[in-house]
Amino acid sequence: MYKIFETVDEVSRYTAQRLLDKIKATPAAVLGLATGSTMEPVYAQLLQHMQQLAVDVSQLTTFNLDEYIGLSADHPQSYNFYMYQHLFNHLNLPAQRVHLPDGLASHIEEACQSYSAAIQAAGGLDLQLLGIGSNGHIGFNEPQTCFNSRTHVVELSAQTRIDNGRFFADQSQTPSHAITMGILDILEAKEIILVATGPNKTQIMAQLYDSPIDEALPASALKQHPNLTIVLDREAAALLPEHALKSAV
């Protein structure tokens, strides 16, 4: 299902409301969380609603999608830092229920296996929030990642390093590798919300709309999911065919 809104603000309100509804309906929900600039206004809206409504998050469990290898939790560009800055520092979530891949793990393969196992031990993801890379990656699952993958180490593509280089002082500081939940981990979520906004996502959203399910476009794996919502602003949806736009909202 597509939901298309005029503005980023409306996209973020809608997405935050979906998260809030899930938390209210299922206080012990297991949430899969994402990072990236798309999610910043979503988390800002979510926090605002949560504070106004005094929502109890003490039973929630969270698993983040991915993390750069080689960045410590206190590095300002690590996803760990991002999540505390934008969400966790402002919520009363028990620390033992917050999970992020460890970009400094000494036994990285074991850490990957334990991460997927921990998701399963928690009962699986009730709702997975996703952004999308301009090359169609979800989490850090780059093109040609096997759709049966579990949490694993990836080498970031040149495109991803260029895109994400904007967050680093210079391109050469963008990490070359990351840990990401696998595509199968993501697909096993009971519900998935993919959010894309702005002109940098226009091309890939049009490509995704037309694409068959194909490992060359990681987000196309989501087309086989029974409970997927794709939330776009007008810019990201600009090249979708007219009939898709009409049936979207």
Residues forming contacts to ligand GLP in the complex (CB under 6 A) are 34-38, 65-66, 131-133, 139-140, 160, 164
Catalytic member of 142, 185, 191, 233: 142
CA gap 144, 214 in Å, rounded: 8
**Least distance in Å: CB of 145 to ligand GLP?**
13
State the nearest-atom distance from the C-beta of 192 to ligand GLP, in Å.
Answer: 13
Residue 32 tokens read as 């899969």
Nearest distance in Å: CB 243, ligand GLP: 27
* Annotation says 135 is catalytic: yes
Nearer to ligand GLP, 26 or 159 (CB): 159
Q: Quick check: is 243 catalytic? A: no
201: buried, middle or exposed (CB in 10 Å: 19+, 13-18, 0-12)?
buried
Residue (78 or 160) nearer to ligand GLP, CB: 160
67 assigned to active site: no
Question: What is the 3-state secondary structure of 130-180?
Answer: ECCCCCCCECCECCCCCCCCCCEEEECCHHHHHHHHHHCCCHHHCCCEEEE
Least separation in angstroms between residue 247's CB and ligand GLP is 25
Instruction: Clarify whether 142 is annotated catalytic.
Output: yes
26 vs 77, beta carbon nearer ligand GLP: 77
Beta carbons of 65 and 99 less than 8 angstroms apart:
no
Closest CB to ligand GLP among residues 26, 75: 75
Q: Which of 86, 99, 137, 152 is catalytic?
A: 137
Choose, from 64, 80, 135, 141, the residue flagged as catalytic. Answer: 135
CA–CA separation, 104 vs 72, rounded Å?
6
CA separation for the pair 103, 105 (Å, rounded): 6
Strands 61-64 and 2-5: unpaired
Which residues are known catalytic residues? 66, 135, 137, 142
